[in-house]
Amino acid sequence: MSNSIPNNRINEISFLGSFPRVSIAPKSNLPEFAFIGRSNVGKSSLINFLCDRKKLAKTSGTPGKTQMVNLFEVDQKWILADLPGYGYARRSKKTRAKWSVMIEQYLLNRDNLITAFILIDSRVSPQASDLEQIRWMGEKLIPFSLIFTKADKMKPEELNSNVNGFLDRLKENYDQLPNHFITSSAGRIGANEVLNYIDFVSKTL
């Protein structure tokens, strides 16, 4: 794990809009990368960190604020999709169901989607909603990588044991493990690795 500051990595970001449904989002031929995860996992913070902008995505102490698919075009090369958080327990079942339908519709129908990054809170033991999201992605053959967040919150041993614990859990059910990244927006760790991966995957298309 190395410290990485994404200075000048991304020059230009244009906001394409917020869309309540994927069916009305503008189509694009650019490779698209989506960011999903439980509410409060640190998604907005990570997106702002990756893009080196303070307020690209709304960061909030109140979970579940982002209810739309937000699209950003990055350096005219790729599209960043900021998706609503899933599995937040304090929302009603009905609202949660609506959100997961929206996320699923996006993941199933966005033709230019290359990879979805599933954000995992590195502080906690494997959560049912994350495991369920991963299971669903596997079943639908949607490519994904894992991004462990908030790495600064733990001592290295604890971080390692949590990350390995999560991966070990996946090994029980899968032959092949997904790519994973370890990040901290607060500690500015891991952005270059994620951005390099996006570059690499975009170039090999």
Ligand X SMILES: Nc1nc2c(ncn2[C@@H]2O[C@H](COP(=O)(O)OP(=O)(O)O)[C@@H](O)[C@H]2O)c(=O)[nH]1
Side chain identity at 73, as an amino acid letter? Answer: E
Q: What is the rounded CA–CA span in Å between residue 205 and residue 202? A: 6
Whole-number minimum distance, CB 95 to Mg ion, in Å?
16
* Residues of span 59-78 touching Mg ion by CB under 5 A: 66
Cα–Cα distance for residue pair 172/120, rounded to 1 Å? 18
Of the residues 22, 25, 36, 39, which one makes contact with ligand X according to CB under 6 A: 39
- The option from Mg ion, ligand X, none interacting with 190 (CB < 5 to 8 A, set by class) reads none
Q: Which of residues 102-141 bind ligand X (CB under 6 A)?
A: none
- How many Å apart are CA 31 and CA 37, to the nearest integer? 20
For residue 87, the partner it binds in ligand X, Mg ion, none, with Cβ less than 5 to 8 A by kind, is none
Q: How far is the CB of 204 from ligand X (least distance, A)?
A: 29
Q: At what angle do helices 43-51 and 191-203 cross, to 10 degrees?
A: 70
Query: At closest approach, how far in Å is the CB of 63 from Mg ion?
Result: 8
Q: Judged by CB under 6 A, how many residues of this single chain contact ligand X?
A: 20
Binding flag, residue 152, ligand X (CB under 6 A): yes
Alpha-carbon gap, residue 133 to 104, rounded angstroms: 10
* Segment 74 to 103, residues that bind ligand X, using CB under 6 A: 85
DSSP code for 112: T
Tell me how far apart the alpha carbons of residues 163 and 148 are, in angstroms, rounded to a whole number: 7
**Using CB under 6 A, which of the segments 41-49, 125-133, 137-145, 168-176 binds ligand X?**
41-49
Burial 111-126 (b: 16+ CB within 10 A, else e): eebbbbbbbbbbeeee
List the one residue from 3, 14, 18, 60 that touches ligand X (CB under 6 A). Answer: 60
Residues at the site binding Mg ion, with contacts judged by CB under 5 A? 44, 66
